Amino acid sequence: MKKKVLVEDPKGKFLKIYMDFDETINEIVITGDFFAHPEQAIDELQENLTGAKAESGEIKRILEDFFEEKGVRMYGISFEGLYKGIMECLEGEDDG
């Protein structure tokens, strides 16, 4: 199933998340006008989410692990925004 959602991150920026999933996440692309230092951290997060079970517990665990990692500085993107966006993808209708 393919989904694309737009969520307003509580940190003030818009996140657009594209996801292709069935029982597991096949592909996820996180886009938006936020900042992350180092930038590659977001690519790593996408990799961590790819292949993960498409269910809230697993998603939450991966996001928590990511946000607990020291040294990644983010502006305009947060745990809450990402979690909300990914869950909206999982719960919504197929976009085709």
Partner 1 sequence: MTVRLLLTGYSTAARNMAIDESVLHHVASGDSPPTFRLYGWKPPAVSIGYFQSLAEEVDLDVCDELGVEVVRRITGGGAVFHDDEVTYSAVIPENWGSVPDSIPESYEYICGGILKGLEGLGIDARFQGLNDIAAGGKKISGNAQTRRKGMILQHGTILISIDLERMFTLLKVPSEKTRKKLIDSAKERVTGINDILTNHVSFEDVISALAGGFERSLGVEFERSELSENELSMADKVAGEKYGTEDWNHMR
Please report, as ranges, the residues that interact with partner 1 according to CB under 8 A: 16, 18, 29-39, 42, 73, 75-76
- Nearest distance from C-beta of residue 53 to partner 1, angstroms: 24
Q: What is the DSSP letter of 69?
A: S
Q: Cα 35 to the chain's mean position, in Å?
A: 14
Q: Which is nearer to partner 1, 52 or 72 (CB)?
A: 72
> Least distance (Å) from partner 1 to the CB of residue 66?
15
Q: Cα separation of 87 and 96, whole Å?
A: 17
Minimum distance from residue 75 beta carbon to partner 1 (Å): 6
Cβ 34 vs Cβ 75: under 8 Å:
yes
